[in-house]
Amino acid sequence: MPPSQSMRSHIALFIALLVCALSWLLGTLIGQHTSQQIRQDVGSNMAEVSYAMVDRLDRDMASRAAVLKVLGNLQALRQPDDIAEIRRLLDSLQKEIPSIAWVGFTDPAGLVLASSNGILEDVSIAQRPVYLEGRNGLFIGDVHEAVLLAKLLPNPSGEAMKFVDISLPIIADDGSLVGVLASHLSWAWADEVRESILGPSQDRHLVEFFVIGQDRGILLGPREMIGQKLELPALEGLEPGQSRWQVQQWPDGNDYLTGLTLSRGYKDYPGLGWTVVARQSLEVADAPAQSLLHSILLWGSGLALAFAVIGWLVSTYFTRPLRDIANAADRLSAGEITEIPELRGSREIHQLSQSIRHLVESLTLQQTALGMMESLAHHDALTGLPNRMALEKFLPQAQQRSRLQHGCLALLYLDLDGFKPVNDTHGHTAGDHLLREIAQRLRGCLRDGDMVARLGGDEFLMVLQVPGQDAQHHARQVAERAIAALGQPVLLEVGEVRIGCSVGGALWPVDHIELSAVLQLADEALYRAKYGGRNRAVFHNSQETDLS
């Protein structure tokens, strides 16, 4: 082979390998960063969802116990003269709360006098823990099987039925034991809670969930694993109410992103030591990062091929400039702080050097740019407040918290009164200073869990977590506080200025079940506030408050 052809082959091969190496190196760095970020996000989300399920289980269990306490205080049970009336009460309770599979009332000796659907009536449960423990005080037992009761209850699935016991003593006015109010709560209720909270996430992200008992036995999870003991290092040292996530190797030998939360009970109910565990295969979690890495390598391979062809074509005339580029690339690969030289030869050589420079700079800056873009994309550059993108991400989370807390969201549109004259008279610098001061004052009006975002210009939106009872009153207090705070004079370099604020508010889900519709109602309320005199708060379907 002639020497010229051999040189072409070596130069073309070198360029191809160089670009591939750079693409692989920077692609690996970006892929690792992306993988860590995805693991952080997915792990945190699983920990949050496991906390939501533990909290729901504890609250539901406490509420069932509270219902039985209320029933046990009824005179009909404390003076059981009418057994038929007691049976009617128990049937009504079981009908209203289907998760209560069976509820019965015994005499002091443990004989069932009345029960839902008449099941186990005239049968003694004196040796059952639900009676033995219940006669001494409120008893909430862990998950167990009840063979006798399971035979008497409907069981469409045919699977083994499990129950949670709740019982308490019925005490007469003279302090004597009248009997025991005992119930079996169907464990299928826990699976319904899991489906309602985790079903969509489980299908979309291939996440598996487990409820672990205090003895580390699996109470709820994949059918083939129920009853097995689960030993994970992450379970050690977990405090009640604490959530955490880790990458864990499970007994099957595979690594999983694992999020877990230990029950802490609710109010007077101390909990049964359950732990909710969520897991996702590490391979599934890392799939997006691997896809990104493959894309970078694919594009890098394409660029390598393109540059190899260019090197093959021009190597005869531009061997020396290309050698300079190769030497600089070697130093860059060795870890030296350098850059690809910008050659001033022919147009083709100049274009080649520029292309390689841009490739290296683009791939080097991409990792930093991704982090910067994420932060900048969610915050207003002037005031530092969250922007519309951050608001869109925050609203679904706020809705979920409100549902769990049985509360409401108050959406308050705020529009500054008198801002434009300040901006026109004293200039944009003074206007920017004023907007930053306004943002600071609005932050001071918020409580934990609230948010204020700048929508643009002199328009802001507050999202408030308010209780379901008297929600508008709480929201109006914040609105009035914001109007008062913004009405205070602001000292600028040009002197002291005053502005006002108009507020339009609406409540979700009180005013409308759709959040987008509530935003529209709040906007319409703001329109009424501004054209009704300004410096006032107007809520949907309510009287306005003038604070001028």
Residue 431 is part of a domain; what is its CATH number? 3.30.70.270
Q: Assess if residue 182 is contained within a domain.
A: yes
Q: Assess if residue 49 is contained within a domain.
A: no
Residue that finishes a domain, picked among 230, 258, 287? 287
The tokens describing 253, both together, are 């030998």
Domain check: are 413 and 497 in the same one? yes
pLDDT tens for 258-301 read: 888 988 888 877 877 888 888 888 888 777 767 766 777 777 67
Question: What value does the mean pLDDT take over residues 316-333?
Answer: 63
Neighbours of 206 (CB within 10 A): 14
Q: Assess if residue 240 is contained within a domain.
A: yes
Domain check: are 106 and 135 in the same one? yes
Model pTM above 0.75: no
Residue that finishes a domain, picked among 355, 377, 399? 377
Domain check: are 203 and 181 in the same one? no
Sign, CA torsion 482/487/492/494: positive
pLDDT at 320: 62
- Provide the mean pLDDT of the chain: 79
Catalytic hit among 165, 417, 450, 458: 458
Domain check: are 507 and 421 in the same one? yes
Domain check: are 222 and 368 in the same one? no
Confidence of residue 53 (pLDDT cuts 50, 70, 90): confident
d(CA 436, CA 431) in angstroms, rounded, equals: 9
Domain check: are 394 and 516 in the same one? yes
| pLDDT, greater one: 307 or 295 | 295
Task: Judge whether residue 1 has pLDDT over 60.
Answer: no
Domain check: are 281 and 302 in the same one? no
Residue that finishes a domain, picked among 346, 377, 408? 377
Q: Which domain holds residue 514?
A: 388-546
Domain check: are 136 and 198 in the same one? no
d(CA 297, CA 102) in angstroms, rounded, equals: 62
Question: What value does the mean pLDDT take over residues 26-54?
Answer: 77
Domain count, the chain: 4
Q: Assess if residue 56 is contained within a domain.
A: no
pLDDT at 338: 59
Q: Assess if residue 42 is contained within a domain.
A: no
- State which H helix or E strand residue 518 sits in: helix 515-531
pLDDT tens for 496-519 read: 888 889 999 999 999 999 999 999
**Residue 249 maps to which CATH number?**
3.30.450.20
pLDDT at 259: 87
Burial class (CB in 10 A: 0-12, 13-18, 19+), 397: exposed
Domain check: are 523 and 466 in the same one? yes
pLDDT at 269: 79
Task: State the amino acid at position 125 in one-letter form.
Answer: I
Q: Assess if residue 54 is contained within a domain.
A: no
518 near 507, Cβ under 8 Å? yes
| pLDDT, greater one: 175 or 323 | 175
Domain check: are 447 and 306 in the same one? no
pLDDT tens for 207-253 read: 787 888 888 887 777 777 777 888 888 888 888 888 888 888 888 88
Is residue 458 annotated as a catalytic residue, yes or no? yes
d(CA 147, CA 5) in angstroms, rounded, equals: 86
